[in-house]
Amino acid sequence: MADYAQRDAGLQKEEAGEGDGLVSRLLSRRVAAMLWRNTVVSCSVFLLGLGVLYALVQGVGFPEVPAAGIGFLAANSLHYLFGRAWIFRGTDRGAASGYALFLMNAGVGLAVTMALYALLLAYTPLDYIVARVLVSLVAGLVVFILNAVFNFRRV
């Protein structure tokens, strides 16, 4: 992990002259590296969430939209642990307050997920798993930006 921290520190120095605006910081190589790590973790925990969704819908007969919410929350709890240790390493945010903010950001993501998921299920012929995957792209990016900027303060 020390190698990653050194590389991040080097990228921060390299990008110091590229502008102070949020958009320019979000479009930096350092943030792209964090987004890549976040994508690896997100895909992994997303598979867990899909497994929960599938098990609830197919195994128990649970309604699709609430089942998606349960799967989303289970995956996000695991995501926080990886976020602190690997994605946003070097944060000075305390673990308890960071988890609380992570859950609040996940709540925003959950609202985006549930709204878009319900709309896709109601107004398209998409399979519920395909709809969930598409919705995750939008919600995942929103939550990444919220966590990078406001929670872990790495942007």
The per-residue pLDDT for range 65-113, each reduced to its tens digit, is 999 889 878 888 899 999 999 999 989 999 999 989 998 998 898 899 9
Domain residue spans of the chain: 2-151
Place of tokens 């390299």: 14
Residue 154 amino acid letter: R
23 CB neighbour count, 10 Å cutoff: 7
Torsion sign across C-alpha atoms 77, 97, 39, 64: positive
| Per-residue confidence (pLDDT) for residue 19, from 0 to 100 | 58
HSE, CB side, 13 Å, CA atoms: give it for residue 110.
20
pTM metric for this prediction? 0.69
Question: What's the CA gap between 87 and 82, in Å, rounded?
Answer: 7
